[in-house]
Structure 1
Amino acid sequence: MKLEKKRILTGDRPTGKLHLGHFVGSLQNRVLLQDEYETFILIADIQALTTHFQNPKLINDSIYQVTMDNLAVGLDPDKVTFVQQSQIPSIAELTIFYSMFVSVNSLRHNPTIKTEAKQYGYDDLTYGFLGYPVSQTADITFCNADLVPVGDDQLPHMEQARKITRRFNELYGNGETIIKVPETLLSKNSRLAGLDGNSKMGKSLGNAIYLSDDSKTIDKKVKAALTDKNRIALTDKGNPNICMVSQYHKVFNEEEYENTCEMCRSANIGCVACKKLLAKKLNNTLEPIRERRNYYENNLNLVKEIIIEGTKKANLIGNKQVEAIKEAMKIIL
């Protein structure tokens, strides 16, 4: 008898095109796991409103951009289910149910909420922003996901999700597990710094290399990357430990990384040549991704169909899950 695959839920907020930080932190892993797990990719347009509620057009346009980026890196629409969050009523229902037994204090003390509030300059948090972990729990549990791949910044949200699911089962399970307690899969490379030296590559920081960037754009961005400021002349010995170009070589040019570092330390390679080598490696990595993305850019109706069909499948699953939850809560006729 064929065993059922375990289910993964992961996804992105559609607030712009995806970049190398997403590629290293999550997208590569999704491609590797798509054969082993039943995979759901959530296009989290409702959660994008928590920080971009004044720019709904960006969110709408980015639904396509984010989906194309996922398809371009190698996710197979015949194996992976793409889901538009706002079109899944069961997620909204579960968010309301869970919010009834989650304290405001637990949300306020969530370190990720604190960090992101500071990042966006929020002094007075909206209900939606504060309740982000509750909404995320609904995302995970509408399809009863077994596993959620995350970066380390999302670990507090996952712990909150695990608390919510355990609490629900205690309150309404009557000794049975109504909702699975999701496991966390921590990404090996959870964060890629910006080429400008910022600890995080981000859309809002203007330091991102996008998966859709053409070769000339990548050459230009890498050329401006931060290197060892103390290395002025070509004959000066460099310190790769404080050079962002070196850090990118470690990720995208692993086989030559040690040798490149040694050449830097001994002044046998200059920063310009080192940057050209990195740009070439990045372009080699991204070229097949750009080709696949170009195909989908020229077939937007196909992208739309992939989202629509995936969302239909997800709604069937979500409706069944909510029915079981309502029955457990004794709020069904």
Structure 2
Amino acid sequence: MTTTTTIPSTDVRETPEVHADERATYAAARERSAVLDQLIDEQAARDPARFRVLSGDRPTGPLHVGHYVASLRNRVRLQDKGVDTFVLIADYQVITDRDVVGEIGDHVRELVIDYLAAGLDPERSTIFAHSAVPALNQLMLPFLSLTTEAELRRNPTVKEELALSDGRPLSGLLLTYPVHQAADILFCHARVVPVGRDQLPHLEQTRAIARRFNQRYAAGHSVFAEPEALLSDVPLLLGTDGAKMSKSRGNVINLRDSADETAARVRGARTDSHRRITFDPATRPEVANLLILAGLFLGEAPECIAERIGDGGARALKAVVTEAVNEGLREHRARRAELERDPGHVDQVLRQGNARANEMAERTLATVRAVMGMAY
């Protein structure tokens, strides 16, 4: 990665200069991401480890269409190009911002089912859970020694949670969340991390930790390579209520929903009072959001879909969206139903992935201890 992301401190005002710097940084990151994607196309099949990918999800509930179009399809794409793919089920991260874990075991298995239904192959992709890989989590201690409290508090996710906390103290796990993410990425020596724009600061923290470990403990030798961002081209989708798509808000179309449930959720989606359908994200965000969603499943530009609907109004728009989503998820749902009838296979996939991840993590931890002079 040829650029760094500047994370403003908490007392930096949002000035035009700051926005200009962020735009320039993001533009450079996109340019590098495009080059990286091309290299993957050309070379991944010959050298899978060079482009090893780490991505994952928190098991806080069912996955939805936003996950499907933004991450699941991309993971399968990278796997099918020959990339060595690691997919993390971040169960420990569930307790960063909540007091109870809920039905976490069921949520973990639901994630595995959706991964397999989407096309992830457990023989080519390693699917594993945080809590099942002790050596991964032991890397947190040396990595924390390379990170300051001020850096952690400047992290956008931590800052956002602090702003929403209403005076409630942050848990230590939430404050150190960026370091936990670094351990997730570095334990398997991931070289590529698919991220959205808002996650670039997280990845830059990981890069800083890798760089500092090499400098402080390895005399400048490269124990950890600095991972690079593979930016998503999928725009941020809104929920059916026009707000941020969120499992907790209940404004999502879940992958496990039936065709009828999907139709009902789309019927209830917010639009506006204008009969003619146009693609105008600035002034008609809810209509634009539905057009984008349909376009992602149909492989069409939202402007073309809007032109085709014309004066059909919200009813016609919602019919197009419903058909696009239901047809796009038809095979996924069929595979999902088969997997739900075979829980033993789902558990075996997770055990197999956990074993692979443990083997990798123990090797990495052994190297770290040796480099630090702690191999007793």
User: Is residue 207 of structure 2 the alignment partner of residue 207 of structure 1?
Assistant: no
Percentage of identical aligned residues: 37
Counterpart pick for 1:275 among 315, 318, 331: 318
Assess if the C-alpha contact under 8 Å between 1:98 and 1:134 holds in 2: yes
Distance 1:179 1:208, change over 3 A: same
1:118-150 Cα shifts (integer Å, max 9, x gaps): 456674211000100100101111111111111
- 1:1-333 to structure 2, matched below 5 A, reads 3-6=47-50, 7-35=52-80, 36-54=82-100, 56-118=101-163, 123-189=168-234, 191-198=236-243, 200-229=244-273, 231=274, 236-241=275-280, 242=284, 243=287, 244-255=289-300, 257-263=302-308, 266-267=310-311, 269-333=312-376
Aligned-pair CA distance for 1:4: 4.9
TM-score by length of 1: 0.92
Aligned-pair CA distance for 1:239: 4.2
Aligned-pair CA distance for 1:195: 2.1
Aligned-pair CA distance for 1:3: 4.0
Distance 1:4 1:278, change over 3 A: closer
1:46-83 Cα shifts (integer Å, max 9, x gaps): 111112341x2322221101111111111111211111
Q: Hey, what's the Cα distance between the residues in 2 that align with 1:67 and 1:221?
A: 24
Distance 1:63 1:167, change over 3 A: same
1:142-196 Cα shifts (integer Å, max 9, x gaps): 1111111112221111111111110110101123101121111111115221122
Q: Hey, what's the Cα distance between the residues in 2 that align with 1:40 and 1:165?
A: 19
Alignment-mate amino acid for residue 237 of structure 1: R
Aligned-pair CA distance for 1:27: 0.9
Q: Hey, what's the Cα distance between the residues in 2 that align with 1:149 and 1:278?
A: 27
Aligned-pair CA distance for 1:101: 2.3
Secondary structure, in 3 states, of the residue corresponding to 1:28? helix
Q: Hey, what's the Cα distance between the residues in 1 that align with 2:180 and 2:271?
A: 41
Assess if the C-alpha contact under 8 Å between 2:48 and 2:83 holds in 1: no
Secondary structure, in 3 states, of the residue corresponding to 1:23? helix
Q: Hey, what's the Cα distance between the residues in 2 that align with 1:4 and 1:263?
A: 43
Alignment-mate amino acid for residue 95 of structure 2: L
Alignment-mate amino acid for residue 283 of structure 1: N
Assess if the C-alpha contact under 8 Å between 2:53 and 2:190 holds in 1: yes
1:2-44 Cα shifts (integer Å, max 9, x gaps): 6453311111111111111111221111010003211111111
Which runs of no fewer than 5 residues in structure 1 stay unpaired? Answer: none
Distance 1:254 1:313, change over 3 A: closer
Assess if the C-alpha contact under 8 Å between 1:24 and 1:192 holds in 2: no
Assess if the C-alpha contact under 8 Å between 2:97 and 2:171 holds in 1: no
Aligned-pair CA distance for 1:221: 0.7
Q: Hey, what's the Cα distance between the residues in 2 that align with 1:192 and 1:74?
A: 22
Moved more, 58-67 or 133-142: 58-67
Q: Hey, what's the Cα distance between the residues in 1 that align with 2:106 and 2:225?
A: 34
Q: Hey, what's the Cα distance between the residues in 2 that align with 1:261 and 1:298?
A: 40
Secondary structure, in 3 states, of the residue corresponding to 1:180? coil
Alignment-mate amino acid for residue 90 of structure 2: A
1:271-295 Cα shifts (integer Å, max 9, x gaps): 2122112101110001111111111
Assess if the C-alpha contact under 8 Å between 2:279 and 2:302 holds in 1: no
State the number of aligned residues.
Answer: 323
Assess if the C-alpha contact under 8 Å between 2:295 and 2:305 holds in 1: no
Assess if the C-alpha contact under 8 Å between 1:151 and 1:190 holds in 2: no
Distance 1:117 1:202, change over 3 A: farther
Distance 1:190 1:259, change over 3 A: closer
Q: Hey, what's the Cα distance between the residues in 2 that align with 1:4 and 1:273?
A: 45
Secondary structure, in 3 states, of the residue corresponding to 2:219? coil
Secondary structure, in 3 states, of the residue corresponding to 2:238? coil
